[in-house]
Amino acid sequence: MNITKSCIISAALLASSALAGLPALAQGAQRVDVLHWWTSGGEASALNVLKQNLNGEGVAWQDVPVAGGGGEQAMTVLRARVTSGNPPTASQMLGFDIQDWAEQGVLADLNAIAAKENWDKNIPAALQQFSKYKGTWVAAPVNLHSTNWIWINKKVFDDLGLKPPQNWDEFIAALDKVKASGKTALAHGGQPWQDATIFDSVVIATGGPEFYKKALIDLDPQALGSDTMKKVFERMTQLRKYVDNNFSGRDWNLASAMVIRGDAAVQIMGDWAKGEFVNAGKKPGTDFICTRFPGTQGVVTFNTDQFAMFKVGADRQGAQQKMAMAIEDPGFQSSFNVVKGSAPARTDVSDAAFDDCGKKAIADVKDAVAKGTLLGSLAHGHAARAAVKNAMYDVVTAVFNGDYAPDQGVKELVTAVAGAKQ
């Protein structure tokens, strides 16, 4: 009879799964559970370097990968784990989320290691804002991405006699020329975070770093409702004309592929796009050009990948500390970021191993730190908290897609931000 058979089978399976479950539970050896969403390509192999390093120090790595949506699914899993009393040792986390979690009192205190390894001196203050909560180190930054880049297919530009644009008007002129030649001028993926990435840069190009800070970081309603913001939205609407018809919902790396292939001329994207070009065998300077978004030179809008460390039992703290140290190790910082396309989180790492774009990135960061223009990116969770960020996403996307006219967009922006500020 089906029932009896399945009873026997499930009993046997229960028994064997009980046995299978034992090794993981009985681990007394040092182990880190790491939640992240780097599940493919270069990112995964770069993270694997960290895993190997830790294995070399006698720490086992229990991988908890959850892909999707730039961490959306991973954050859900994180909540479930923390609520169930079984937090991971470390979790990849973006910007303000770290602050939100720290407020819940579930993050570990890393001050001892930070002091030993000199983090306060070598990690830019703007980053520390996110890695520290009320003066205590709670997270280890892995890198410093910047988002105000554009990526240009050199051949397309050369064929049209174009040079990398230095300001807005030159940018529009160049896009016009590309469009007239029949190619797609702007390769873009119509997802809210990508629209917002463009928004970051247009805000700086239109109002300068001071305006950016006032509107997107301080969330000043005057700034958000100002004519400058209206101009920003007008420019967003203007850029919309240069994308192809299929842009909606496209993944960012597919947009990069358009530029790599030469079907499109320009992509506005953070420095992780470099990885796509490099993997396709393209060389900076010869096949593609990396340059700052026209009008944002001298400013770096950044986001970081950090591993937030959770409060764990005493038996796991040793491994956790080793992981934190390994992340900030200059050797690892160099090898990881060369692959990832970002700049190291530490400013005292040599740029010898980086390619031209990487060297430029590192130099730009040093410059911005000195001038105080290292600003957190709104689009990537380093300017405003999740609720506000997402509320702004909604408006920016609606403007870009033509659902709101610029002046209505401005009004909606003010309302949305006010509504999302709790």
Partner 1 sequence: MAVAAIPSHTTSIEPARTSRGIEDWLPRLVLAPSFAALILFVYGFILFTLYLSTTSSTLLPVFDFIGFGAYSRLFSIPNWTIALKNLAIFGSLYIVLCTAMGLFLAILIDQKIRGEGLLRPIFLYPMALSFIVTGTAWKWFLDPGIGLEQTMHSLGWTSFTFNWIKDSQMAIYTIVIAAVWQSSGFVMAMFLAGLRGIDSEIMKAAQIDGASTVQTYRRIVIPQLRPAFLSAFVVLAHLAIKSFDLIIAMTNGGPGRATEMPSTFMYSYTFTRNQMNVGAASAVIMLIMISSIIVPYLYAELRGEKK
Partner 2 sequence: MTAHVSTISEDRSATSSRAPARALLYLVLIAFALYYLLPLFIMIVNSVKPLAEIQGGNMLSLPAETTFEPWRKAWNEAQIGVEATGLAPYFLNSILMVVPAVAISTILGALNGYVLTKYRFPGHKIVFGLMLFACFIPFQIVLIPMARILGMLGIAGTIYGLILVHVVYGLGFTTLYFRNYYEAFPTELVRAAQVDGASFFKIFYRILLPSSGPIIVVTVIWQFTNVWNDFLFGASFSGPTAMPITVALNNLVNSSTGVKEYNVHFAGALLAALPTLIVYIVAGRFFVRGLMSGAVKG
The binder of 19, among partner 2, partner 1, none, by C-beta within 5 to 8 A per type, is none
- Binder of partner 1 out of 39, 49, 100, 330 (CB under 8 A): 100
d(CA 133, CA 236): 35
- Would you state the structure tokens that stand for residue 281, as one six-digit string? 């065998």
Amino acid at 233: F
* Per CB under 8 A, 72 contacts partner 1: yes
- Would you state the structure tokens that stand for residue 174, as one six-digit string? 């160049």
* Per CB under 8 A, 84 contacts partner 1: no
Question: Which residues are CB-neighbours of 366 under 8 A, at least 6 positions away?
Answer: 347
| Secondary structure of residue 50 in the 3-state scheme | helix
* Per CB under 8 A, 135 contacts partner 2: no
> Taking each helix axis from N to C terminus, what angle separates 406-420 and 386-400, rounded to the nearest 10 degrees?
170
Question: Which residues are CB-neighbours of 13 under 8 A, at least 6 positions away?
Answer: none
Residue 243 DSSP symbol: B
Interface pattern 30-69 for partner 1 (x via CB under 8 A): --------------------------------------xx
Please tell me the count of residues contacting partner 1 according to CB under 8 A. 35
Task: Please say whether the beta carbons of 357 and 284 come within 8 A.
Answer: yes
Q: Taking contact as CB under 8 A, which single stretch among the options 1-9, 90-98, 132-140, 386-394 is the one that binds partner 2?
A: 1-9
Amino acid at 182: G
The C-alpha angle with vertex 201 and arms to 96 and 328, in degrees rounded to 5, equals 45
- Binder of partner 1 out of 34, 59, 64, 75 (CB under 8 A): 75
Q: How far is the CB of 29 from partner 1 (least distance, A)?
A: 31
Residue 200's Cα: distance from chain center in Å?
A: 13
Q: How far is the CB of 170 from partner 1 (least distance, A)?
A: 30
- Binder of partner 1 out of 88, 95, 124, 192 (CB under 8 A): 192
d(CA 23, CA 124): 42
Please tell me the count of residues contacting partner 2 according to CB under 8 A. 55
Mark 411-420 as b/e (b = at least 16 C-beta within 10 Å).
ebbbebbeeb
87: alpha, beta or left? (left if phi > 0; alpha if psi -120 to 50): beta
Where in 51-110 is the site for partner 2 (CB under 8 A)?
A: 51, 61-70, 73, 76-77, 79-81, 83-86
- Would you state the structure tokens that stand for residue 45, as one six-digit string? 């192999």
The binder of 248, among partner 1, partner 2, none, by C-beta within 5 to 8 A per type, is partner 1
The binder of 401, among partner 2, partner 1, none, by C-beta within 5 to 8 A per type, is partner 1
The candidate with the shortest Cα–Cα distance to 239, out of 204, 261, 266, 207, is 266
The beta-strand segments (E) located in 134-243 are 136-137, 139-141, 143-146, 149-153, 184-187
The binder of 103, among partner 2, partner 1, none, by C-beta within 5 to 8 A per type, is partner 1
In the bound state with partner 2, the residue whose beta carbon lies nearer, of 43 and 117, is 43
Interface pattern 257-286 for partner 2 (x via CB under 8 A): x--------------x--xx--x-------
Q: How far is the CB of 101 from partner 1 (least distance, A)?
A: 7
Q: How far is the CB of 330 from partner 2 (least distance, A)?
A: 22
Residue 412's Cα: distance from chain center in Å?
A: 26
* Chain residues in the site for partner 1 (CB under 8 A): 68-69, 72, 75-76, 79, 82-83, 97, 100-101, 103-104, 190-192, 245-249, 385-387, 390-391, 394, 397-398, 401, 403, 412, 419-420, 422
* Chain residues in the site for partner 2 (CB under 8 A): 1-3, 6-7, 9-10, 13-14, 16-17, 20-21, 24, 33, 37-44, 47-48, 51, 61-70, 73, 76-77, 79-81, 83-86, 251-254, 257, 272, 275-276, 279
